[in-house]
C-alpha cells in the first residue's frame, strides 16, 4: 500500500504518547506512521518522504538530535521535536539543528496539533509564490530549486538558514529585529529565545565566509537585529 502524501511520521518510543499523538492527528485527517526505533524512523523518512516528522529526543538506539541532524542533511521535511527536557540549551540545540518547533512533555495534544498545522501552513506558504532568483554580486539564491551559490559553488544551508537568507535578501537594507525573525519562523513558541536567531545567523555567516564586522552580506544592527547589505548589484531574475 503506497504511503499517503499527508502522512506524518511519529518517531516515539513511548507507545502511549505515540498512540495519543496519532489519534489526534488522524482526527484532523492526517495519516500517521509510528516508529519506536530512531534508525527505523530515519530510514522511513528518507525512503518515503512524509509530510512531517514528529521526533522524540530520547530514543533507545539513537537520540533525536542525531536523527534531526542526519535528516536535515538530506531533506527539508518539517520537524517538530518532543522532549521531557526544557532547559534553554536544549531548545537552542534543537532549533539550531533545523527543527521547526519544540514541544516539552507533558503537552496538550490539541496544542500539538495546532502547532503541526501552523508549521505546515508556514511551510506551504514559503513554498508557494516565491519564484525569484535573488542576486547580490557573486551570491545567488534560487527559491524554487532551494539552492544557494557563492562564486559558482553550491552552499549547503539548513532550512532555517535558507529562510533567513531569503527573507533578508528579499528586503535589502531593511532591518529585521530578532523578535521579527523569531515571529516569522517560530510563531507559536513564546519561550524561544532570541539567541536562536543569533545561532542561525552565525552559522550562515560562516558558510558565506561573511565577516561579522566587515560584512559583505549580513550586517548586525547593534541592539536591534540584522539587515542585508544594500548594493547596486542586488537584484532579481
- Per-residue pLDDT tens digits for 27-71: 999 999 999 999 999 999 988 889 999 999 988 878 898 999 898
Q: What is the pLDDT averaged over residues 107-118?
A: 90
- Does residue 1 belong to any structural domain of this protein? no
Tell whether 110 and 164 lie within a shared domain: no
Same domain for 204 and 123: no
- Please choose, from the candidates 136, 226, 228, 111, the residue with its C-alpha nearest in 3D space to the C-alpha of residue 173: 228
**10 confidence band (pLDDT: 50, 70, 90):** very high
Q: Mean pLDDT over all residues of the chain? A: 83
Query: The domain containing residue 204 runs over which residues?
Result: 133-236
Together in a domain, 184 and 117: no
139 & 119 share domain: no
Q: Are residues 159 and 181 in the same domain?
A: yes
- What local confidence, expressed as pLDDT, does residue 3 receive? 41
* pLDDT score of 60: 83
Same-domain pairing of 84 and 114: yes
Q: Between the CA of residue 70 and those of 80, 94, 191, what are the distances in Å?
A: 15, 13, 26
Give the E-state strand segments of 159-224 in sequence order.
Answer: 176-177, 218-221
Q: What is the CATH number of the domain that holds 22?
A: 3.40.50.2300
What pLDDT sits at residue 4? Answer: 42
Q: What is the CATH number of the domain that holds 202?
A: 1.10.10.10
Residue 120: inside a domain: yes
Q: How many structural domains comprise the chain?
A: 2
Which of 168, 120, 148, 149 shows the shortest CA–CA distance to 6?
A: 120
Q: What is the pTM of this model?
A: 0.62
Q: Are residues 116 and 159 in the same domain?
A: no
Amino acid at each position: 500500500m503506497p504511503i499517503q502524501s499527508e502522512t506524518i511520521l511519529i518517531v516515539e518510543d513511548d507507545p502511549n504518547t505515540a498512540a495519543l499523538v496519532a489519534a489526534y492527528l488522524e482526527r484532523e485527517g492526517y495519516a500517521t506512521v509510528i516508529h519506536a526505533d530512531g534508525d527505523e524512523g530515519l530510514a522511513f523518512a528518507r525512503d518515503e518522504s512524509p509530510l512531517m516528522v514528529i521526533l522524540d529526543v530520547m530514543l533507545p538506539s539513537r537520540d533525536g538530535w542525531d536523527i534531526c541532524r542526519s535528516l536535515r542533511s538530506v531533506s527539508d521535511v518539517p520537524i517538530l521535536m518532543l522532549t521531557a527536557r526544557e532547559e534553554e540549551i536544549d531548545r537552542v540545540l534543537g532549533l539550531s539543528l533545523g527543527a521547526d518547533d519544540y514541544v516539552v512533555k507533558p503537552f496538550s495534544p490539541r496544542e500539538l496539533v495546532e502547532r503541526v498545522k501552523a508549521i505546515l501552513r508556514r511551510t506551504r506558504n514559503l513554498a508557494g509564490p516565491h519564484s525569484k532568483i535573488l542576486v547580490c554580486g557573486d551570491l545567488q539564491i534560487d527559491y524554487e530549486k532551494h539552492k544557494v551559490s557563492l562564486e559558482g559553488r553550491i552552499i549547503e544551508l539548513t532550512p532555517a538558514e535558507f529562510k533567513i537568507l531569503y527573507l533578508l535578501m528579499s528586503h535589502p537594507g531593511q532591518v529585521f529585529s530578532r523578535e521579527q525573525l523569531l515571529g516569522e519562523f517560530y510563531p507559536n513558541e513564546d519561550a524561544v529565545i532570541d539567541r536562536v536567531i543569533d545561532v542561525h545567523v552565525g552559522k550562515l555567516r560562516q558558510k558565506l565566509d561573511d565577516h561579522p564586522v566587515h560584512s559583505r552580506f549580513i550586517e548586525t544592527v547593534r541592539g536591534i537585529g540584522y539587515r542585508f547589505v544594500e548594493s547596486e548589484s542586488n537584484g532579481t531574475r
